[in-house]
Amino acid sequence: MARRSDHSREELREMAITAAEQIVVEQGYEGLSARKVATAIGYTVGTLYLVFENLDDLILHINARTLDRLHAHMNESQLHCGDASDCLLQLGQVYIRFADEDPHRWAMVFEHRFSEDQVVPVWFQEKIARMFALVEKGLEPLAEQHTRDEITQASRALWGGVHGICILALAGNLGVAGVDSVQDLTKTLITNYLKGFTNN
Amino acid sequence: MARRSDHSREELREMAITAAEQIVVEQGYEGLSARKVATAIGYTVGTLYLVFENLDDLILHINARTLDRLHAHMNESQLHCGDASDCLLQLGQVYIRFADEDPHRWAMVFEHRFSEDQVVPVWFQEKIARMFALVEKGLEPLAEQHTRDEITQASRALWGGVHGICILALAGNLGVAGVDSVQDLTKTLITNYLKGFTNN
DNA sequence: TTATTAAATGAACGCTGTTCAATTAAGAGT
DNA sequence: ACTCTTAATTGAACAGCGTTCATTTAATAA
């Protein structure tokens, strides 16, 4: 059926996402454009729009991959990590390191605002939820006297916190320089929070 | 000396900033453009560039005003606020309420990424620092056994945390809806953090 | 060899930030 | 009053953006 298809639709999507990721890594979100991606994969703009709804759609898929990698790192860190609070600290460290080492892709996940009519698909929301689930799981052993809801609440508060430090620090708004200082801040937050959370 | 000056340079800047604020409030950061601002004040694009270096420069001044208002609210909340931990809770509530009531202007302060060669002026950094100073001041009464550095560190961690909850919640990434839930999360974070911070 | 049809193109539209030669008009000098 | 000077203001121009879609191209089926 297919005509002049050097690549299938799926291959094209794959190529486009990969090329776009490269551009984001090198030039940041600002440097990304439909024409650049098209050129990079040896096609023209029009083709890109046969395979993606629009740029937001492409970005969504890049972000999905970033979240997958982030989740893999976080998950991996939980396999061998000592006691419960060590595990949560690990989780924080991994999060910060990831953001520091791949700032452009990380930033795009959390800073890109999709146009209002663009609905965030469920499968994407689940990738975010999965991250919080890891935190929740890490909190469980420390929360014998807490309800399920309290644990959920705590995981959101704690991870919101880690995320906030990460964002402010990378934007240079925390008056700290270097990853190590950010790691220290995260440790401060998690440690103190856990102390309060457990000593009820 | 001046020719055809219906408005002085300073008046022009004032008008432009005010008009731009209005656009951001109504249409968000995405809706802001040099031509729109120029039209709104009855001038053309060229004039805007006589009075601002570029769009980033204009945005910086809008953000400065937003930070001033935020600081005023936060500061005001500290005048009559009970004991030390109540005061810090107040600070958090005010921060969240501000972001919720003026999301577009608040978001622009923390989400707009200035072009790399644009140096963030010291007077602007000071407006950020001033906010953290308020938190630091709020922490002091609770930190008799802590050093100055520890208090600074704690204020950054805690406020990074509040900020993170705020960002994630407003972006819809925390699985919570409504300001009240965000306020609850903030309370959770601050309360537990303070418990850990004080019970050393 | 031709007809069919999906794949791919690229010009076009309306927008963006930014620049700067050209125009306009207010005040000074006569 | 008229001209000259000069600062204020304009708006066309440039290169880029996201997005659309009539047109062209080429691989297959007949």
Are A131 and A70 in contact by the 8 Å Cβ rule? The answer is yes
Give the whole-angstrom CA distance, residue B134 versus residue A78: 37
Mean predicted lDDT score pLDDT of chain B: 94
Give the whole-angstrom CA distance, residue B131 versus residue A128: 30
Give the whole-angstrom CA distance, residue A60 versus residue A58: 5
Question: Which of A29, A160, A171 has its CB closest to that of B168?
Answer: A160
Residue A30, CB, strand C, below 7 Å? no
Residue B4 phi, psi dihedral angles, 5° rounding: 40, 40
Share of chain A above pLDDT 90, in %: 88
Q: How far is CA A27 from each of CA A97, A104, B15, B67, B153, rounded to the nearest angstrom?
A: 20, 8, 35, 29, 32
Give the whole-angstrom CA distance, residue A181 versus residue B113: 22
Give the whole-angstrom CA distance, residue A184 versus residue A191: 10
Nearest CA in chain A to B153: A185
Q: What is the pLDDT of residues B97-127, one digit of tens each?
A: 999 999 999 999 999 999 988 889 999 999 9
Q: What is the pLDDT of residues A131-165, one digit of tens each?
A: 999 999 999 999 989 999 999 999 999 999 999 99
* Number of C-beta neighbours around residue A115 at 10 A: 9
Give the whole-angstrom CA distance, residue B141 versus residue B136: 10
* pLDDT confidence band for B3 (50 / 70 / 90): low
Q: What is the pLDDT of residues B50-97, one digit of tens each?
A: 999 999 999 999 999 999 999 999 999 999 999 999 999 999 999 999
**In chain B, which residues from 17 to 36 place their CB closer than 7 Å to nucleic acid strand C?**
32-36
In this prediction, residue A59 carries a pLDDT of 98
Which two structure tokens, joined as six digits, stand for A198?
């457990």
Which two structure tokens, joined as six digits, stand for A164?
């906030």
In this prediction, residue B4 carries a pLDDT of 65
In this prediction, residue B6 carries a pLDDT of 81
Question: Which of A28, A154, A162 has its CB closest to that of B188?
Answer: A154
Mean pLDDT of A180-196: 96
Share of chain B above pLDDT 90, in %: 88
Give the whole-angstrom CA distance, residue A56 versus residue B45: 29
Domains present along chain B, CATH in parentheses: 1-52 (1.10.10.60), 66-198 (1.10.357.10)
In this prediction, residue A12 carries a pLDDT of 96
User: DSSP H helical segments within B117-178, as ranges?
Assistant: 122-139, 148-170
Using a 7 A cutoff on CB, list residues near strand D. A 2-4, 32-36, 45-46, 49, 54-56, 115; B 1-7, 9, 12, 42-47, 49-50
List CB contacts (< 8 A) between A196 and chain B.
Answer: 191-197, 199
| Single-letter amino acid code for the residue at A34 | A
Question: Which of B161, B191, B196 has its CB closest to that of A165?
Answer: B161
CB-contacted nucleotides of strand C (7 Å) = 5-12, 15-21, 24-27
Q: Do B185 and A160 touch (CB under 8 A)?
A: yes
Q: Do A164 and B169 touch (CB under 8 A)?
A: no
Mean pLDDT of A163-186: 92
Residue B111 phi, psi dihedral angles, 5° rounding: -105, -25
* pLDDT confidence band for A118 (50 / 70 / 90): confident
* pLDDT confidence band for B1 (50 / 70 / 90): very low
Are A32 and A111 in contact by the 8 Å Cβ rule? The answer is no
Among candidates B146, B130, B137, which has minimal Cα distance to B197?
B146
Helix B148-170, helix B103-111: angle, nearest 10: 120
List CB contacts (< 8 A) between B172 and chain A.
Answer: 120
Are B164 and A189 in contact by the 8 Å Cβ rule? The answer is no
* pLDDT confidence band for A86 (50 / 70 / 90): very high
In this prediction, residue A17 carries a pLDDT of 98
* pLDDT confidence band for A33 (50 / 70 / 90): very high
Q: Can you tell me whether residue B156 is helix, strand or coil?
A: helix
In this prediction, residue B176 carries a pLDDT of 87
Q: Which residue has the tokens 């602007």?
A: B124
Are B81 and B90 in contact by the 8 Å Cβ rule? The answer is yes
In this prediction, residue A200 carries a pLDDT of 65
